[in-house]
Amino acid sequence: MSGTIPLSLTQQFNEFGKPLKGGQLFLIQAGTVSTPQDSFQDSQLTIKMPYPITLDAAGRIPQFFLADGFIKVRLQDARGVVQLAADAIQVIGPSGGGGGGTPVDPNALIQMGNIIGRYGAGVLGGYVRLNALTIGSPVSGATERANADTQALFQYLWITDPTLSVSGGRGASAAADWAANKRLTLPDGRNRALAGLADMGNANVGLLTDVAFTKGNATTLGSLLGAARRILGLTNLPSHTHTGNTGNDTPDHTHNVGAALASGVFSDQTPGSVQGSGNQTIGSTGASVRHTHPFTTNATGDGAAFDAIDPWMLITLYMKL
């Protein structure tokens, strides 16, 4: 359920009676010092407001909605001077009603940075797709979403994953890059299955030891590994031998030789015409010598790649703004 507080849509003034142009409203989780509380443009709580909320040229606070419960606020002017601070303000609701409703645990809601899967392919209000495109300010030229509501996610990803690229290079801070209208590249979830890091606060479980990574490693957020198709190499085959026969006779068989030749060499035609080698001393013309022929099997197979993935169903991965 959702509601709002009396500050929504109000015009604010400084101590001299002038509109609080460019002032900022910080919405904070009740009972904390400065932990941000999500606010939204719509009562369905899907389109997230920027943090903090900036007042317009007339000093007016835009309309916003909150999850039912209690909230802390801090209002300051453009210079950062605090004009109003209050805690435990009850959100009026549910859904615009008169009662306070039952307080909602903010952890029970989908929070910024959470990933969901949806059976659809288009844009989704309050989310961006994990498609390796970019997010940024309204004038940044970002390719997935260029809007003020991406600021919190921009700064969160900037800090959380330092491998994500930023247009023009990373500056001094996430806030500085946002203010400079830079673009941040989203994680690339295209044709990727999700799996847990090898440690996640515990010891490295070691299941990915010696596995080749295309980006990062087993304990680094956003690392990539695996391939959809593989070609089996000779070193991947189990050790084995090939057996076979040299002809219709047994491998150990005889030839009639035409003349006395040197030990270990025989001919079944004319003297001196070497056809192979044996293991016995060849005697006079017409003698029979038992011997074997070494052989190599003919090559077979074409080295085609094979599928190396489990059965999947493809959907769209979204990240909460």
Q: What was the pLDDT predicted at 189? A: 92
Q: For residue 267, what pLDDT is reported?
A: 41
Give residue 33's pLDDT band: very low, low, confident or very high (50, 70, 90): confident
Q: Which amino acid is at 257?
A: V
User: 233 or 60, which is more confident?
Assistant: 60
User: For residues 270 and 261, what is the distance between their CA atoms, to the nearest angstrom?
Assistant: 11
Listed range (47-51, 98-102, 103-107) with the worst mean pLDDT: 98-102
pLDDT digits (tens, 9 = 90+) for 167-224: 999 999 998 999 999 999 999 999 988 889 999 999 999 999 888 898 999 999 988 8
DSSP lists the bridge partners of residue 265 as: 277
Query: Given pLDDT bands bounded at 50, 70 and 90, which one contains residue 94?
Result: low
For the ranges 39-48, 116-125, 191-200, 292-301, which has the lowest average pLDDT?
Answer: 292-301
Domain ranges of the chain: 1-109, 115-185, 195-227
Give me the percent of the chain exceeding a pLDDT of 70: 78
Between residues 259 and 8, the one the model is more confident about? 8
* Stretch 246-267: mean pLDDT: 47
Q: What is residue 17's predicted lDDT score, i.e. its pLDDT?
A: 85
The mean pLDDT of the chain is 81
Q: Give the residue, 249 or 204, on which the prediction is more confident.
A: 204
| Confidence check: pLDDT of 72 > 60 | yes
Instruction: State yes or no: pLDDT of 144 exceeds 70.
Output: yes
CA distances (Å), origin 249, targets 290, 294, 296: 12, 14, 17
Joined together, the tokens standing for residue 264 give 């270990």
For residue 83, what are the CA distances in angstroms to 37, 55, 73, 221, 234?
19, 13, 11, 40, 74
Q: What superfamily in CATH does domain 1-109 come from?
A: Phage P22 tailspike-like, N-terminal domain (2.170.14.10)
224-251 average pLDDT score: 73
Residue 284 has pLDDT above 80, yes or no: no
**pLDDT (mean) for 145-158:** 91
- The CA distance from 290 to 279, in Å, is 8
